A and B are shown apart, each in its own frame.
Chain A
Amino acid sequence: AQSVTQPDARVTVSEGASLQLRCKYSYSGTPYLFWYVQYPRQGLQLLLKYYSGDPVVQGVNGFEAEFIKSNSSFHLRKASVHWSDSAVYFCAVSAADNNAPRFGAGTKLSVKP
């Protein structure tokens, strides 16, 4: 079975600073990897996903993530954060056998003005 670890429960950065949110997955096969964002009192929305190919994938609003197989990681990055990026970010992994994605515990991002 697959699982995800997001080691940072909370991250605070200043507006305009760069961002990295960490994600490590556990799965013996080829993973499908996702980052979702959750704004207050809403459901989750997809930021980006990785299936195969170029290990750096681009998402919405300037977010990108890099799949590093040797490290079982899929960290999320953004070059310059905006206050509106404040939200909870979830990393998820899905197996190739069509089972439902499993999510990490989430990282709450706070952007200081």
Chain B
Amino acid sequence: DPKIIQKPKYLVAVTGSEKILICEQYLGHNAMYWYRQSAKKPLEFMFSYSYQKLMDNQTASSRFQPQSSKKNHLDLQITALKPDDSATYFCASSQGRPAETLYFGSGTRLTVL
């Protein structure tokens, strides 16, 4: 059974719309992350959360907003979508201590038309 669930697996959106990418982890981890992978920028770090608090944000645009309603949830809201946002978005989790292994979900592939 997958321990990190990302929904949906595939997502098609139109330019200017808003979407929410879902991530739930069942590993009992304290830290969660979002990474983005595209042809232009392979595996780019976006956000990290620890105990539902934002720890690090490397995303320049405020159109990307993480949302943590529960300890094991870290959703990603993207507003005013652009074609350049097309990418696979990976959620990951870890125990949160330095150098702990990241466990990745299988990703949400977003295509913006």
What distance in Å separates the Cβ of A108 from its nearest Cβ neighbour in chain B? 10
Q: Point out the residues of chain B lying under 8 angstroms from A106, CB to CB.
A: 42-43
Alpha-carbon separation in the docked complex, A45 to B55 (Å): 23
- A43-B104, A103-B45 given; name 6 further pairs at CB < 8 Å: A44-B43, A98-B55, A98-B98, A99-B55, A103-B35, A103-B42
Q: Give the A-binding residues of B (Cβ under 8 A).
A: 4, 33, 35, 42-43, 45, 48, 50, 55-56, 90, 92, 96-99, 101-102, 104-107
Per-residue 0/1 for A75-113: is the Cβ within 8 Å of any B Cβ (1 yes, 0 no)? 000000000000000100011111111110110000000
* Chain A residue nearest to B6 in the complex (CB): A43
A–B pairs, 25, beta carbons within 8 Å:
A34-B101, A41-B106, A43-B4, A43-B90, A43-B106, A44-B104, A45-B104, A46-B101, A51-B99, A90-B42, A90-B43, A94-B98, A96-B98, A98-B96, A98-B97, A98-B98, A99-B48, A99-B56, A100-B48, A101-B45, A101-B102, A103-B42, A103-B43, A106-B42, A106-B43
Task: Output the least CB separation between B44 and chain A (Å).
Answer: 8
* A102 B45 Cβ-Cβ under 8 A: yes
Give complex CA distance A49, B4 in Å: 21
CA distance A49 to B107 in the complex (A): 23
Using a CB–CB cutoff of 8 Å, the interface residues on chain A facing chain B are: 32, 34, 36, 41-46, 49, 51, 90, 94-103, 105-106
With A49-B99, A90-B43 in contact, do A100 and B33 touch (Cβ < 8 Å)?
A: yes
Contact A43 B105 (CB under 8 A): yes
How far apart sit A102 and B102, CA to CA, in the bound complex (Å)?
A: 11
Look across to chain B and name the residue whose beta carbon is closest to the beta carbon of A45: B104
Inter-chain CA distance A94–B95, complex, in Å, is 14
